[in-house]
């Protein structure tokens, strides 16, 4: 069994209600359930899924309960047509998921559009977020990038399997700093290499809505925040981390060199060390 198959096998599922739709969410849970500290919730971006956090979750789960959901339309969560996949809807998913799990306060760790979800959640639920970790996240008008915008074209759903896989190889293998781990590349591609997955990927991409981050009052976010950001990313450049540091009430910059957009994979060990240190505070 491959690493991503093992991760999928370990996932649990639950139902959430978003905009009146009852939808299934898959999530990975690890760590002690009786910990005194709030759980750590990991939120991925596009076109990834919770497997993105494979190199970080184990270090955190030694002391803290961890929850890593697949967003709606991603990974092993619901992929059927007929529901919104925007970060507005993903925020509602996260809220209902945490409520269903009995989690009143959490630390959020987020990447890419998962960061847009986390920023919205922290702005709208300031008392529910203990700490916030943002890594090369979408914010303000920093997105969508051309690669994702193109995936939202109708042709994606009808694309030849080999052509789609070639594009994803370029995103995950070509987007790594140095030689990519084949298991990372295969794991990231896996959810999209089915007929349902191709359609869902297109729907996810077209749902990227910049208005959902330009409308936010960033100054209302009170959570202690760590901007654990890859300096060499061209998709969500470091200047956005600096802007967030100015606008958030309590934010610390923590740049990571020798890392592109997939910073969680490029610098997994250092990322985990800094994250654990921040959590221990």
The pLDDT assigned to 119 comes to 98
pLDDT in tens, 161-183: 899 999 999 999 998 999 999 99
Per-residue pLDDT at 34 exceeds 80 = no
> Can you give the pLDDT at residue 158?
82
What is the pLDDT, as a whole number, of residue 109? 99
Q: What is the mean pLDDT of the chain?
A: 96
Helices (H), ranges, the chain:
3-10, 57-61, 87-100, 113-124, 146-151, 161-172, 182-189, 195-206, 211-214, 238-247, 263-266, 268-280
pLDDT grade, residue 159 (50/70/90)? confident
Average pLDDT rounded to a whole number, residues 11-21: 98
Q: Give me the sheet containing 224-230, strands edge to edge.
A: 12-18, 21-30, 66-69, 40-43, 106-112, 129-137, 224-230, 251-256
Residue 141, Cβ density class (10 Å: 0-12 exposed, 13-18 middle, ≥19 buried): exposed
Model confidence pLDDT, tens digit, residues 39-63: 999 999 999 999 999 999 999 999 9
What confidence tier does 35 reach under pLDDT thresholds 50, 70, 90?
low
Angle between helices 182-189 and 3-10 (to 10 degrees): 50
CATH class of residue range 3-275: alpha beta
pLDDT higher at 92 or 155: 92
Write down the pLDDT at residue 225.
98
DSSP state of 50: G
- CA 20 – CA 59 distance, rounded (Å): 37
Confidence of residue 155 (pLDDT cuts 50, 70, 90): confident
pTM of structure: 0.97
pLDDT 10s digits, 209-219: 999 999 999 99
The DSSP result for 205-264, as a single string, is HHT--THHHHT--GGG--SEEEEEEETT-SSS-HHHHHHHHHHSSSEEEEEESS--S-HH
pLDDT of residue 18 exceeding 90, the answer is yes
d(CA 65, CA 109): 13
User: What is the pLDDT, as a whole number, of residue 208?
Assistant: 94
Average pLDDT over residues 144-160: 86
Q: What percent of the chain has pLDDT over 70?
A: 100
Which residues does 126 contact at the CB level (< 8 Å), separation at least 6?
Answer: 220, 221, 222, 223
State how far the alpha carbon of 227 is from the alpha carbons of 80, 114, 132, 138, 242, in Å.
Answer: 34, 14, 8, 12, 9
- Position 36 pLDDT exceeds 90: no
pLDDT at 153: 83
pLDDT, tens only, 229-280: 999 999 999 999 999 999 999 999 999 999 999 999 999 999 999 999 999 9
Q: What is the mean pLDDT of residues 134-147?
A: 95
């Amino acid at each position: 069994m491959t690493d991503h198959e093992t991760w999928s096998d370990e996932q649990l599922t639950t139902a959430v209600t978003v905009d009146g739709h009852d939808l299934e969410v898959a999530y990975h849970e690890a760590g002690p359930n009786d910990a005194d500290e709030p759980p750590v919730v990991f939120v991925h971006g596009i076109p990834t899924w919770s497997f993105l956090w494979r190199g970080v979750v184990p270090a955190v789960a030694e002391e803290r309960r961890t929850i890593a959901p697949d967003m709606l339309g991603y990974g092993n969560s619901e992929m059927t047509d007929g529901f919104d996949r925007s970060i507005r809807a993903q925020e509602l998913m996260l809220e209902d998921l945490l409520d269903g799990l009995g989690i009143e306060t959490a630390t959020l760790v987020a990447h890419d559009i998962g960061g847009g979800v986390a920023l919205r959640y922290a702005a709208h639920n300031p008392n529910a977020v203990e700490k916030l970790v943002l890594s090369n996240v979408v914010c303000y008008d920093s997105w969508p990038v051309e690669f994702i915008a193109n995936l939202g074209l109708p042709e994606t759903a009808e694309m030849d399997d080999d052509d789609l896989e070639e594009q994803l190889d370029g995103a995950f293998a070509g987007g790594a700093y140095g030689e990519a781990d084949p298991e990372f590349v295969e794991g990231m591609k896996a959810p999209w290499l089915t007929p349902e997955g191709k359609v869902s990927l297109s729907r996810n991409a077209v749902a990227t809505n910049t208005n959902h981050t330009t409308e936010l009052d960033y100054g209302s976010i009170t959570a202690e925040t760590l901007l654990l950001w890859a300096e060499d990313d061209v998709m969500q450049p470091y200047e956005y981390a600096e802007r967030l540091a100015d606008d958030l009430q309590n934010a610390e910059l923590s740049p990571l060199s020798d890392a592109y957009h997939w910073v969680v994979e490029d610098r997994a060990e250092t990322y985990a060390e800094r994250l654990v240190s921040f959590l221990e505070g």
